[in-house]
Amino acid sequence: MFKKIKTLLFGSVAGGAIIIAVFSILSRLLGLLRDRLLSSTFGAGQTLDAYYAAFRLPDLIFNTLVLGALSSAFIPIFLSVWHKDKKEAWQAANSILNILLVAITVLVIILFIFAPQLVNIFVHGFSPEGRALTTQLTRIMLFSTLFFTVSNVIGSVLNSFRRFLAFSAAAVMYNLGIIFGIVFLSPKFGPIGLAWGVLLGAALHLLIQIPAVVKIGFRWQPNFNWRQSAVRRIGFLMLPRSFGLAISQLNETITTFIASGLAVGTVSIYNLAFNLISFPINIFGTSLATSVFPVFSQALINNDKNLFLHHFSKTVRRILYLIVPTMVVVILLRAQIVRLILGAGKFSWTNTVLTANTLGFFSLSLLAQSLIPVFARSFYAKHDTKTPVKTAAVGLILNIILSLILGRLMGPSGLALALAISSTVNLILLYFILHKDLGHLDQKNIFMSLLKIVGLSLVMALVIQVVKTFVGSGVNMQRFTGVLVQFVVAGLAGAMVYFILSLIFRAREVEFVKRYLNRFFHR
């Protein structure tokens, strides 16, 4: 039985996606608990605004130089070198690790020194007390990037070998560290305890992956061979991708800058709503894109365009099958979602309404934000890291313009709408460029699947709305239990109708769920 489960989970792209999705769900559930603890303890006010703003500098250097940039450039090159010379591949991995760690350490020290000046710029609208707290939190959180740098290199190695278990569990450990900070450290040390929790979570994120990478043969060596061919190729590919991620981080920093000049609590509400919408994006979009990336890379290394297009089309259609009905659920049950997850303690009814409205506008970005990782990784597998940078730059400019206009008109909801529009434009540009490069993307099958999925989702929406109204009239909606009953009954009714109709109308995308369930129970 154990062998059958192992074959199911570790022997295919979908198996890898299942591992990533399971741990992503667990991590995101812990993330929801984390956000509930934060919102109920501090409310959408100065402390929570400072906490979320304090991530800007650490995220800027880490996400720009390491996260994504490393994995998108590292995996294709590492795999190609591994098949030729395993010793050289390990040497390249060590050199990348050591070079990045030294570079990030230098940046952390510089940013630590100049944190007050930088914080005063990007949260100009905060009070003096708010800026001072943001600076304190930022300085502690900066050191988490050192743990994440090592952890991400190790994670990229594990990803290359399609060892997703420890890699996926790392995010769980990170959230556990943050929760420990909220529950045990902040009561003792005040808001500063939140930053120490982040640092603890980063350390756990690294430690959980070390045994797995040692098991597959990685040994640390003090290599700094930047002249090695593989290292230079990785660095060459990382450069444009780093610009792309710098654009993404600049986007978030500018959004924080704009939000800090609006009402107190805007930064908190925007981030809480964004975290809620990130739940399905990470489970459905990112998990599938991450698990299929090594397959994309290997197919193009072997010059097998048909295999690449097969996996691309299948992945896109699976994401559509999962994410379109999710949009329906979020739009129709957004108030219930916010009340159940965040509506406790110091999180007021006004905070709840503002967050629900913001979540509704964020839901419009679900499709684009879930598909962009797959399209971007298609370019990375072709060793093209420039194209996603260019489309992201267009999205950045559009988002800044729209945020300045809509943010002042609509508050946090306007910022969410700006992101939805700009991310959709980004996806459209990626689609047309990839289509031009490859000639076709199996768009006929994708479009036909989308039409069927939209039709099934509209029926699902009708069912949810009818059941929601019926249940709401029979329970006390002023109590947690009443809201919970309404959400669960309406959501399950809609999901069951969607699944049953998928079987009746033979939606191909539901077959992979049936197939792996059958393999699990009948092997």
pLDDT of residue 202: 95
Q: Per residue in 321-375, pLDDT tens?
A: 999 999 999 999 999 999 999 987 888 888 999 999 999 999 999 999 999 988 9
Whether the pLDDT of residue 93 is over 90: the answer is no
Residue 508 and residue 449 in contact, taking contact as beta carbons nearer than 8 Å: yes
What is the mean predicted confidence (pLDDT) over 34-48? 92
Q: Which two tokens stand for residue 246?
A: 């710098």
| Distance in angstroms (rounded) separating the CA atoms of residues 476 and 335 | 15
Report residue 520 as tokens: 């699990």
Least confident of 144-158, 293-307, 398-412, 422-436: 293-307
Residue ranges per structural domain of the chain: 46-237
The residue whose two tokens read 């979009």 is 285
pTM passes above 0.85: no
pLDDT tens, position by position, 492-515: 999 999 989 988 887 777 776 666
Where do we find the tokens 């569990």?
169
Site of tokens 């290599």: 223
- Please give, one letter per residue, the 3-state secondary structure of 165-181: HHHHHHHHHHHHHHHHH
Asked if residue 90 lies in contact with residue 219, where contact means CB atoms within 8 angstroms, the answer is yes
3-state secondary structure of 280: helix
Q: What is the DSSP letter of 263?
A: S
pLDDT at position 2, please? 42
- pLDDT at 34 exceeding the cut of 90: yes
